[in-house]
Amino acid sequence: RFQACVYFASAFQAISCGIHYLASVFMAVTPNFVCGIPGNVSSALFYNSSESSLEDIWTLWTSAENYIVVQLENGEIWELNQCSRSRREVSSDLAYEYKGNRSIFSCSDGFLYDDTKWKSTVVTQWDLVCDREWLAKLIQPTFMLGVLIGAVIFGDIADRLGRQRVIWFTSTGQFVFGIAVAFTFDYYSFVIVRFLLAMVSSGYLVVAFVYVTEFVGIKARTWASMHVHAFFAVGIMVVALVGFLVQTWWVYQIFLSLATLPFVLCCWMLPETPFWLLSEERYEDAQKVINTMARWNKVSTPCKVSELCSVQRDDLVSGGAGDSDTASAKKHNILDLFCNWHIARRTITVWLIWFTGSLGYYVFSLSSVNLGGSEYLNLFLIGAVELPCYIIACIAMDKLGRRNTLIPFLILSALICVLIMFIPQDFNILIILANMAGKFSIGVAFGLIYLYTAELYPTIVRSLAVGSGSMMCRVGSVVAPFCVYLRSVWIFMPLLLVGIMALLSGILTIMLPETLGKPLTNTLVEATEIGRNKRSCSEKTPPAHSSAMLEKIEMFGQETVSTEK
């Protein structure tokens, strides 16, 4: 009962992470626009349609190449393009086609925006169009850069100061910075506050994975860690819902940030994890948390920290090499991930999978609003399709194996990217379904790689391997928005790049060993031997005592908490 409450409380806040990661999809949208008018309009003309106001013309707008002809009250006739305007020298008749002389002017009077869908966005607020369009395109990449930096900084702080304090700070920071974004006074303050918001959102997500993993028992650990992603997907669905209901960007941002408030009000009740307290030798505090768990779970005889410590001491004494193992573990660095050809090839492949998974995940998500039909429904479905995908991933990785699940889903996502290119553009429903299938496939691979990476590397470099893979994941999330912008070059360019990367990753994954049912390795020699013969490496080299001790502690705690229901 205690672990369930802690898990769902912590995972609930992951919803706000999904919200902030994808909020710019509607907040930074660029509506149809033309140059501002230097006077009052008496009539407007768009092709053969004559209207008295520009608002009526937006429903007929089909392309950025279109222009609007307006006649002012003083008789002047102007042609309004997106990034320029021209005045006709001869203004006798109001006609759409004109072959006479024109005087071209810049958009010094601002711009006119189509507000039929969005009353206000950050683009319309600060005129991030034409020669300032690149500023709008930097909004999501700078956010993802904050995600990258936040993951590194707060991951390290959580190891030093504890998971509880970081969860307090980052969850409060999400609320404070989320509200602050809505009240920024210019573009640069907006980007800076969003950058800080990205750091705390990423920091929370990284630490939350560790936090729930250290509380949840061994049997439920895979499912629990995988389904933190599901709460993130719910956040994407919330973005679609709020975007549909609210068309003013700063009000939209406030409503999204309010999703953090319930957790902020109760996060101070979450305890520190016993694992971290024991690692810091704070035995009395660890015992208090264990006693609280026992009361919640109605366990009459909770485990004692002194007994856990005796297991550790006995194990180290019997092994006689614990201190040397610990000392050697501290000397490892990222070069150890390339210590020999087999490990180096494995590292390159794993990094590529991390990068591809993140790239595909965000390309499918960010591109969903450009698929035609209702962009709100598209984004909602793109988020909803993740919920079953993690269930399928958990079942498949335990039944078929990690590699045998990863390979087909990577190759399938590549084939779907190719398939989408051959679907006619007027088949909106089919395109949306294909994109949902692509998001489903890449979502399975993306969710699976976390656990697979941890199993592919030995204890001495396992954290380093997962951490470096996570860094490649963040790089993919930074590149993804730029990849989406390549639609302006060719509409299928983002899908082509994702398809190529997914196919390459799937082919290289064939060379990775299967880890299902095999014990975790402890040395680089053991890790190298995985998959090279039928015998498990544990048959050749006994596992390190540090790993055995940890397993005893985990099993002891699991059995004690499970004594009564």
The pLDDT, as a whole number, for residue 13 is 86
Distance CA 563, CA 565 (A): 7
At position 84, the amino acid (one-letter code) is S
H or E stretch at 43: strand 41-46
pLDDT (0 to 100) of residue 195: 95
CA distances from residue 147 to 141, 221, 454 in whole angstroms, order as listed: 10, 25, 22
pLDDT-derived band at 557 (thresholds 50, 70, 90) equals very low
Residue 1: partners with Cβ closer than 8 Å, 6 or more residues away: 296, 297, 298
Query: How many CB atoms within 10 Å of residue 553?
Result: 20
Q: Measured between alpha carbons, how far is 270 from 245 in angstroms, rounded to an integer? A: 33
Q: How far apart are CA 219 and CA 550, in angstroms?
A: 15
Confidence of residue 187 (pLDDT cuts 50, 70, 90): very high
- Are 154 and 167 contacting, i.e. CB atoms less than 8 angstroms apart? no
CA angle 440, 446, 447 (to 5 degrees): 90
Q: First CA to last CA across the chain, in angstroms?
A: 9
pLDDT above 70 (res 543): no
The correct answer on CATH 1.20.1250.20 for the domain covering 1-30+124-270 is yes
What burial class does residue 368 get, using C-beta atoms within 10 Å of its C-beta: 0-12 exposed, 13-18 middle, 19+ buried? buried
Note whether 85 and 39 are within 8 A (CB): no
Q: What is the DSSP letter of 460?
A: G
Residues 6 or more apart whose Cβ sits within 8 Å of residue 395:
none
Q: What is the CATH number of domain 334-528?
A: 1.20.1250.20
Looking at every residue in the chain, the average pLDDT score rounds to 81
pLDDT (tens digit per residue) in 108-166: 888 888 888 888 999 999 999 988 989 998 998 999 899 888 887 887 788 778 888 88
**Helical segments of 422-492, H only:** 428-456, 462-485
Give tens-digit pLDDT for 225-244: 778 888 989 999 999 999 99
pLDDT at residue 65, rounded to an integer: 67
Q: How sure is the predictor about 499, in pLDDT bands with cuts at 50, 70 and 90?
A: very high
pLDDT digits (tens, 9 = 90+) for 72-90: 877 788 888 888 888 888 7
Tokens standing for 341? 């050809």
Q: What percent of the chain has pLDDT over 90?
A: 25
DSSP 487-550: GGT-TTHHHHHHHHHHHHHHHHHTTSPP-TTPPPP-SHHHHHHTTTSSS-GGGTSPPPHHHHHH
- 404's enclosing H/E stretch is helix 402-421
Provide the pLDDT confidence category of residue 248 given band limits of 50, 70 and 90: very high
- Residue 77: DSSP 8-state: E
Radius of gyration, alpha carbons of the chain: 28
Tell me the two tokens of residue 21. 């990661």
Tell me which residue of 113, 104, 66, 235 sits closest to 123, measured CA to CA: 113
- Banded pLDDT at 531 (limits 50, 70, 90): low
**Residue 68: which H helix or E strand, with range?**
strand 68-72
Half-sphere exposure (CA, 13 Å, Cβ side) for 19? Answer: 24
Sign of CA dihedral 260, 265, 268, 272: negative
Q: Cβ neighbours of residue 160 under 8 Å, at least 6 residues apart?
A: none
pLDDT tens column, 380-391: 998 899 888 888
Q: Compute, in degrees rounded to 10, the torsion defined by CA atoms 552, 553, 557, 558.
A: -40
Confidence band of 418 (pLDDT split at 50, 70, 90): very high
Helix H, strand E, coil C: the string for 351-388 is HHHHHHHHHHHHHHHHHHHHCCCCHHHHHHHHHHCHHH
Q: Where in the chain is the domain with CATH 1.20.1250.20?
A: 1-30+124-270, 334-528
State the number of CA atoms in the 13 A half-sphere of 127 facing the CB. Answer: 13
Place 342 in a pLDDT band, splitting at 50, 70 and 90: confident
Give the model's pLDDT for residue 43. 78
Q: What are the strands of the beta sheet with 68-72, ordered from one edge?
A: 49-51, 41-46, 68-72, 77-80, 85-88, 102-105
Question: Is residue 38 predicted with pLDDT exceeding 80?
Answer: no
pLDDT at 213 exceeding the cut of 60? yes
Residue 225 CA to residue 432 CA, distance in Å, equals 29
Backbone angles phi, psi at 417, to 5 degrees: -60, -40
Residues 6 or more apart whose CB falls under 8 angstroms from that of 415 comprise: 499
Higher pLDDT: 59 or 391? It is 391
Q: How confident is the model at residue 541 (pLDDT cuts 50, 70, 90)?
A: very low
Continuous segment of H or E residues that includes residue 46 = strand 41-46
What's the rounded Cα separation, in Å, for the pair 403 and 411? 12
Buried b (16+ CB within 10 A) or exposed e, 356-365: bbbbbbbbbb
- Give pLDDT, residue 547: 43
**Residue 314, pLDDT score:** 53
Please state, in angstroms and rounded to a whole number, the distance separating the CA atoms of residues 30 and 516. 48
Report the amino acid identity of residue 115: D
Q: State the pairing for strand pair 49-51/85-88.
A: unpaired
User: What percent of the chain stands above pLDDT 70?
Assistant: 85
Q: What is the pLDDT of residue 453?
A: 85
pLDDT at 323 over 60: no
Inter-residue contact 498 to 377 (CB < 8 Å): no
Q: Which residue has the higher pLDDT, 198 or 374?
A: 198
Quote the pLDDT of residue 312.
53
Asked whether the predicted pLDDT for residue 320 surpasses 70, the reply is no
